[in-house]
Chains A and B, each alone.
Chain A
Amino acid sequence: MTIDAAIPTPALPEPRDILFISKATPGDDDFALWLAPRLEAAGFKVFADILNLTGGDIWRRVVTNTLQAKSVKMLLCCSDDTLGRQGVLEEIDIACQVSKDIKDETFIIPLRLKPYKKIFGIANLNYVNFVPSWADGLDSLLETLKRRGIRPNPDSIQINPNWELYRKRLSIKLLPEPERLTSNWLRVAEAPDAIHYFEPVGSIDRDLMYEQCAQLSFPNEPWAHGFFALTSLEEVNRSFSGLVTFKLAASIGLDEFQKNGSEYLGIRGQDASNKLMSMLRRAWIKMCEEKGLIRYEYSGSTGFHIGEQQAGIGKQISWGRQGERHRSMLRNVARGHVWQYGVTATPNFWPFPHFKLKSRVLFASYVDDKMGDVLGDPQKQHKLRRSVCKGWRNKQWHGRLRAFLELMCGESSYIRIPVGHETFIKLDPSPVLFTSPVSTYLPDEEDGDAEEADETTLGRPDPEEEED
């Protein structure tokens, strides 16, 4: 053991190297969050109470200790509002004491953010003026610090990540927990095994046959000498009332047909898929017509809407499982018009067989408390859609889709789309569910028919339509 080691080393006082920002919370937050990282980037150490997001007694002690023992200057945000805060006044008291203890009359540096009335403790101090511009104020502050011998350490520049964390303190946390997502896809649960190709026995006027095909009660697609359908030979021959007799020329598995077509029949995969989709679309249309839904031709597709027959104006439709019941409207009055929810259905076989349901809203006139004619002008429909529905959110659109499906399937377990007399495509009326690997806290407080209250969240029109 050496003699040196036997003598206890006196603890060195901690260096006073922190610039302590005294401020009002939240009034001076924006300023402090602008100033602090810039001072740090210049090589200073900076402290403010907002570095700890939770606060509390222990944190108050940290704040006091930092001011008393570690701070080289106090940067005091000055405005009447800030200087009226009890917490700030307490910090000024402590700072005045520190100023005496360390014999630094300029320990407090007032930062003039707004014109303010002088108060006890800082009345005689020269301020740094941030009123004309924060940027100019920062330049002056750096100059003031330099003049007063407060040197930055450019070799150890560290920007505290907590400034950013404070700015994001009200953000919602992403949770690593799975969450259910409900799509607008309806799974095809069951379909005929095969598509059939029927050819007439003997010669026939092809144009006449095509004309007849268009009148048939089941979906079909003419091709070469005959046509495709998903129904039986018996029904086909019955439909032609014995005028022509057809034979079953080929049957191709449904999946195989839509993927690869048929070499035997000379139809390529893409064409075959188009024909099948067209048949399914028409089957859906026919089913909706038979249910009495209101048909409307949109640009390139057909929509079907809930009408008076299905739901009265303002009537709420229940949907959802037991214990999880919800209610949504499918028709109501807004901006002097009746709106009616509906969908356009698009069949798909990829990545698995399903129908996509695109939500639609159709507007009609409203006269004497009654619905009048559907508006014929597509531009007017579009304009009303843009204004009436823009505030409908996740819950409203989800609810309306589910309520629509509830009406579509009634008591049945499936939505059955006839493709022949006794042949159906069966759709599972519960939309396909997916699972996201993450979730967040999710409020579920809005009314199922409420609208967005904060217009600033509704976004702007497409920037391409806007100025720039």
Chain B
Amino acid sequence: MEYPEKSLRVLHLEEPGLEFGFKQVTAHPKDGLHLYGPYKRPKRTREIRLGVIGTNKGLDHFRTWANAIRGVVSVPEPGPREKKDRLHLATFPGLEEALSITFNDDATTFHSISESELEQATLIINHHEAVSKTASLYANVAISHLANDERTVDVWLLVVPEIVYERCRPLSKRTGLTLVPGGFKKKQKARVSMPLFGDSLDEPGEHVFDDTPDFHRHIKASFLGIAPTQVLRETTLAPEAFLNTKGYPVRKTQDRATKAWNVATGLYYKTQADPPWRLANIREGVCYIGLVFKDLPNDKNKHACCAAQMFLREGDGVVFRGANGPWKTNDYEHHLTRSEASNLIKQVLDAYREEHGTPKELFIHGRTKFNDEEWAAFENAVPAETNIVGVRITTGKGENKLFRDGDYPVLRGTALIQDERNALLWSTGYIPQLDTYIGPETPNPLSITILRSKANRMPKIEDVLEDILGLTKINYNSCNFNDGLPVTVRFANMVGDILTMGSAKSVKKQPFKFYV
């Protein structure tokens, strides 16, 4: 049998516009902030209150760096092999100049932690215990501050030396180091199982095994009830202070201007009521939800945690925690029961209604499919006038490529329409405005599928793609032209990872900014 040649429709989606100060719209956050300042810019500069925790050296690095970002931070001259005009890089005009916020050293709370104590904590023989102890050294400072100091802190900045980064991640090897004894043996990774005693015997200190040994997650989980955080590596703040034997920085970091843009944007997002920019042209009454599932570590019942991240046009994000339960149905899928699916959506709707009334459309973004039971619950949970749409968004690993006949790859915004429910969307690619492609190798598309919609009120695939492209522009944790993933999916894993931590057990609803 011969198969005829076939082709598919290709679209190009316009770059979504972002709204900044003075109601001005532009596509690039750096342009928008430089020219107009943040959306909902305050009339007067707002002073933010920082709490900084680090070793004495770390605090010094922070002070130097903080002083620098209060002025202009220029892009370094291009190297001999680099393009003359690097449009993806931009001079940072200063924290107050770009974002209308500032801080001063007198109002900043500095807390020093002992370098040797930190060193000893990272060397504790049991990795869970080591990471927990290290994170506690930082968290306890903030907890103590909260209890004893009347000065409010808007955001905690945790300056970490490389030993913390190297030794306090899940797969840190710590080979060649002289480890020190602690309360547990080296290989213990879970609470001691004593079936005779059931849950009645709680070994002291065993809570460390309820958490994944990851400093970053520990910090985010520990601070959920305190304030948003920003973890800063000393090598990020002062790469020139950490040189190898040949005199080069031990770690390649971004240029100083880019780092200033990213951290400053994060600081604004984490300290202000409104984000620094918002999407300019998103349909009214639309709400996006990212569904998150994560298996609870060492849970004897093999339960998983579920959560919903809600995002609106304004960029506000809120994380709602659902119940823990037997949601994992196979190696790759999680599904909620009818009642839990209904509860989770109701929480989201209630929060949406408080500010915006009834949504017209509610999109659920996730990486997996929905089963009939949970979908029926989702549909029943929303009012008649609200359409609910399930969209699966997955990332490719090289299965689908499009090449151009020249040096640069396919344009960001290119969409290959496979049918009325399925498309491939290049959310990364060549950006004409920047005259480059940012990323390694060649871009991979997102694979988008409209799985279900209420009573078959199927949205147009073009609208779904436009929305997703828009959601790649509201990752306020940096100041990039775009992210490769929509914000509904980008942080799903991380939010799940934090919620499964023992120290995050009691959290129900919290702004998204606490998680990133």
Contacts and interface: CB of A to CB of B under 8 A. Distances in A.
B414 interface: yes
Interface in B247-301: 252, 254-255, 258, 266
B379 to A, nearest CB: 25
A191 interface: yes
Interface stretch (B121-129, B345-353, B402-410, B455-463): B402-410
Given A389-B441, A456-B82, A463 B405 contact: no
Contacts of A181: 10, 402-404, 410, 414
Given A135-B94, A159-B36, A393-B409, A171 B439 contact: no
Given A170-B435, A356-B399, A434 B406 contact: no
A398 B410 CA distance: 12
B230 A468 contact: yes
Given A30-B93, A397-B401, A454-B81, A37 B36 contact: yes
A395 interface: yes
A443 B406 contact: yes
B154 interface: no
B216 interface: yes
Nearest to B401: A184
B464 interface: no
A386 B36 CA distance: 39
Interface in A384-401: 386, 389-395, 397-398, 401
B24 interface: yes
A351 B419 contact: yes
A183 B400 contact: yes
B31 A167 contact: yes
B1 A168 contact: no
Contact of A454 (B45, B82, B102, B397): B82
Nearest to A438: B12
A174 to B, nearest CB: 5
Contact of A463 (B422, B435, B490): B490
Which secondary structure dominates where chain B touches chain A?
Answer: loop
A392 B441 contact: yes
B88 interface: yes
B187 interface: no
A453 B83 CA distance: 8
Contact of B407 (A170, A180, A395): A395
B35 A163 contact: yes
A419 B36 CA distance: 64
Contacts of B26: 164
Contacts of A386: 440
Contacts of A391: 440
B7 A168 contact: no
Interface in B418-448: 418-419, 422, 430, 432-442
A170 B83 CA distance: 12
Contacts of B337: none
Interface in A420-461: 428, 432-438, 440, 442-446, 453-460
A189 B93 contact: no
A390 B477 contact: no
Given A393-B442, A435-B7, A170 B87 contact: yes
B268 to A, nearest CB: 14
B190 interface: no
B277 to A, nearest CB: 14
Contact of B5 (A173, A187, A435): A187
20 contacts: A135-B94, A164-B26, A171-B434, A173-B432, A174-B432, A181-B10, A181-B402, A181-B414, A193-B1, A351-B422, A353-B3, A356-B400, A390-B440, A397-B401, A434-B402, A436-B12, A453-B83, A455-B252, A467-B165, A468-B477
Given A183-B400, A468-B477, 13 more contacts: A133-B70, A184-B400, A187-B3, A351-B8, A351-B422, A390-B441, A394-B408, A398-B404, A428-B5, A440-B432, A443-B408, A456-B89, A459-B439
Interface of A: 30, 33-34, 37-38, 41, 133-135, 157, 159, 163-164, 167-168, 170-174, 179-185, 187-193, 254, 346, 350-353, 356, 358-359, 386, 389-395, 397-398, 401, 428, 432-438, 440, 442-446, 453-460, 463-464, 467-468
Complex A-B, nearest 6 residue pairs according to Cβ-Cβ distance, in ascending order: A442-B406, A398-B403, A453-B81, A394-B409, A444-B406, A172-B432
Interface of B: 1-3, 5-8, 10-12, 21-22, 24, 26, 31, 34-37, 45, 70-72, 78-79, 81-83, 85-89, 91, 93-94, 96-97, 100, 102, 165, 216, 230-233, 236, 252, 254-255, 258, 266, 397-411, 414, 416, 418-419, 422, 430, 432-442, 475, 477-478, 483, 490-491, 493-494, 516
